[in-house]
Amino acid sequence: MELRHLRYFVAVAEERHFGRAAASLHVTQSTLSSQVQALEREVGGRLFTRTSRRVELTEAGGLLLPEARRAVAQADRALLVARESVHGKTGEVRIGFSGVAVLQGVLSEDLRDFSRAHARVGLTLTELPPVAQIQAVRDGVLDLGYCPDLGLDDTGGLRVTQRAPTPLSVALRSDHELASAAVVTTAALADHDLIVFASGEEDQTVLSRLWPAAAEEDRSRVRLGGSTLGVLALALAGVGVAFVPTATGRIALPGLTYRPLHGAPPGPDLLVISRQDETSGAVRAYLTGVPAP
């Protein structure tokens, strides 16, 4: 038994007329009749009694009709679900992110735009360091990640999109001797301990990525923080001067001061990482809406 047999049977049963049923299905009447006859042969008896004016259901046809309607409706539903998934109208997008993506407003902007157009797609967010995001995307635990480019070399097989630049500032205790300066220069930091964000491996830091000369001078001056709040906590404790994305200044902590940084190379780009061979319609739809800088 094929689905089209049931679909043709239901059409004839509802129209009570082969000609009108054939027209509604956009097939010839002879094609419709042959398909109904094939179904009757498989059932082993007649499903309709035919007169010159009308078609009536037999007892077997009357019993088959509600079952056939359910089967056709379920098949149509299954097709609709698959199509909606392929076109990104349903499903789930699992996103990893670093704090800077939220502070810059980039992640919330992308989520808002996507949700407006795909209200039925679920969104799951997990905060992770950049290296962990890459592994989670590769392992299929996450679908995509928002992370700063902190020397991420292990991105083979992944799609990497530059989402936004990340300018840098410094964070330091309000009673620090440099806190009164309008701008902090790299030259002024020569005699101070430095706090940087570690991307997951101690040799992959903002400092070694963007300011290799300072990193090579004296690694004992460098303190590592594993998260945005961890870096700020070290700065607030007076351990040193922290390199932070400028957008981190939105986090107001008593006793902490932010100052613009001059003399260092531009900050790392915020990246969106995903799989190159992505099959999820929802994830592909999300990535389609991610703008380039």
Q: Which range is least confidently modeled, 113-117, 204-208, 254-258?
A: 204-208
Of 28, 52, 86, the residue that ends a domain is 86
pLDDT tens for 210-263 read 565 555 555 677 888 878 888 999 999 999 999 898 999 999 999 999 999 988
CATH number at residue 124: 3.40.190.10
Asked if residue 56 belongs to a domain, the reply is yes
pLDDT tens for 263-290 read 877 778 899 999 998 989 999 999 998 8
Which of residues 81 and 103 earns the better pLDDT score?
A: 103
Is this model's pTM higher than 0.85 or not? no
CA 84 from chain centre, in angstroms, equals 16
Asked if residue 132 belongs to a domain, the reply is yes
Asked if residue 22 belongs to a domain, the reply is yes
Residues 67 and 136 in one domain: no
DSSP string, 94-126: EEEE-HHHHHTTHHHHHHHHHHHH-TTEEEEEE
CATH number at residue 17: 1.10.10.10
pLDDT tens for 145-162 read 998 887 666 667 799 999
Q: Which range is least confidently modeled, 21-25, 60-64, 139-143, 219-223?
A: 219-223
Look-up of token digits 């300018």 = 167
Q: What is the token pair recorded at 20?
A: 């009108």
Contact 231, 98 (CB under 8 A): no
Give the whole-angstrom CA distance, residue 293 versus residue 61.
63
In which band, very low, low, confident or very high, does the pLDDT at 203 lie, cut at 50, 70 and 90? very low
pLDDT of residue 71: 92
Q: Which structural domain, as residue segments, surrounds residue 71?
A: 3-86
CA 183 from chain centre, in angstroms, equals 38
Residues 248 and 114 in one domain: no
